[in-house]
Every structure is written in C-alpha cells, then in structure tokens.
Amino acid sequence: MKNQLLATALLLTCCLAQADGYVVDKVYHPNVLPDEQRLEWRFMSRQNDDRNVLAQRIGYGHSLSEYVTLEAYIVGERDSDDNFGLQAYELESRWMLTDQGRYWADWGLVFELEKQHKQDAWEATSGLVMEKEFGRNSLTLNWFLVYEWGKALHDEFETEFRMQYRFRWKPQVQPSIEVFMGEDFVGIGPALMGVQRFDGQRQLKWELGFISEVSGIGKDHTLRFVLEYEF
C-alpha cells in the first residue's frame, strides 16, 4: 500500500505541475478534531507588475462528525478603485479519510463551493490532501481540481498544487518551505507557523508566509497570514 500511495502522489504532482489558476493560499492538513469548532481569519496581499491585490477571509466552522467538518466564509477584496468590499461567499467541507498515524501517511479530502457577490460566477473545488510525518518533519501535499462557471466568466476546469515541508522545532515555532503551482505560475518561499494549546482542545494556530514567483521575469510576491482559534 505504501508504494501505491507514493506512486499516486508522484503522478499527481507531475500532472499538476502544468496547472491552471493562481493558487497561493492556505495549505490544508487532513486531520479533524471531534466536536471541533473553529474561527478563522486569512489575509493575503499580492504585489505584481500590474497591481496590488488585498483580500481577507473570515469564517466559522463546526465538525459534523469525528471525520467531517463544515465551514462558511465571507471574502472581502480591494477593487481597482482601492475600495474594500464584499467579494464572495464560500462553503467548505473537510473529510478525514484515515485516522492520524494509522497508515504510512494521513489522507483527507477538501470540497469548496464559492459564489461571487452580485455576480453569476461560481467555483467548485475538490482536493486530495496528504501528510507524512517522519521524526520532527512533516510533508504536506494538496492537489485540487477547480471548475468555474456562470455568466460572468468562461466555463473551465483548472488544477492546482500546493506543498509544505515543515520542521516541528517547537509547537509555537515551526519553520517551513512552501511551493505553489498554477497557470503560468510557480511560486516558492519561506513560512513560519505555530500553535499554542490551552485547556481541553482549545488552541490558537497562526501561519505567516512570503511566496515569490520563480517561473517568470516579472515581479510577483504574495504575503499570506492565517489565524485560527479552535475550541
């Protein structure tokens, strides 16, 4: 089984290296906590030769079972006139396929449905998530298939890939390297994350990453930040 899973992962990686779409965002992990509730805030600032994109996302999630969670988000973004407003709504579900540490790697699925505010523009995403821990190191891989449709855009499929190699130095300080692949885009950069645990299963997680494009000659940098409170 170990060899079959590894072969599948490598095949998907090769296929998605030529993926469509801009993909710098959160790297998903497969694990779900029983009776989990979550508040989340994401911040993203992307600077390229054309403009600066500033986006924020606020969400709340609750586990439906010990393996499945459902989360709802509102997404805000700054427009070309530098006005910040509501951009989209999103529903997201994560499904933990394997118990943590039971097999060679942990596996999960991610499903997302997004609707643009005041526009007939939809996006549905399904993703496979894998995480392998060895010693104090973790390798996390995300593969996504995205379908967009509606009157405000062209119907099309896209694929995306995200990778995170993390060193668990301390729970509160875990440096990593992240890779993102999409349409005419390959980005790589450092990240730093941590978790502060409290009583019960209450914990505060944070992530900070800076991703630079390495596939083009123009400037394309993204700063991303995630803050999660689980209780």
Model confidence pLDDT, tens digit, residues 30-39: 999 889 999 9
What's the CA dihedral at 91, 106, 208, 93 to 10 degrees?
0
Q: Helix, strand, or coil here: 13?
A: helix
**What does the angle CA 68 – CA 9 – CA 210 come to, to the nearest 5 degrees?**
80
Task: Report the pLDDT value the prediction gives residue 10, as an integer from 0 to 100.
Answer: 42
State pTM to two decimals. Answer: 0.87
What's the CA dihedral at 224, 45, 144, 104 to 10 degrees?
-10
Confidence of residue 79 (pLDDT cuts 50, 70, 90): confident
What is the tens place of the pLDDT at every residue in 104-114?
999 999 999 99
The pLDDT mean for the chain works out to: 89
d(CA 24, CA 107): 21
Mean pLDDT of 194-210: 95
Q: Is the pLDDT of residue 15 over 80?
A: no
Q: Is the pLDDT of residue 215 over 50?
A: yes
Q: Which residues pair with 141 in a beta bridge?
A: 130, 163
Domains, in order of start, for the chain: 2-230 (2.40.160.40)
Long-range contacts of 191-200, Cβ-Cβ distance < 8 Å, separation of 24 or more: 191/164, 193/166, 194/170, 195/171, 196/171, 196/172, 197/171, 200/231
**What does the angle CA 80 – CA 86 – CA 92 come to, to the nearest 5 degrees?**
120
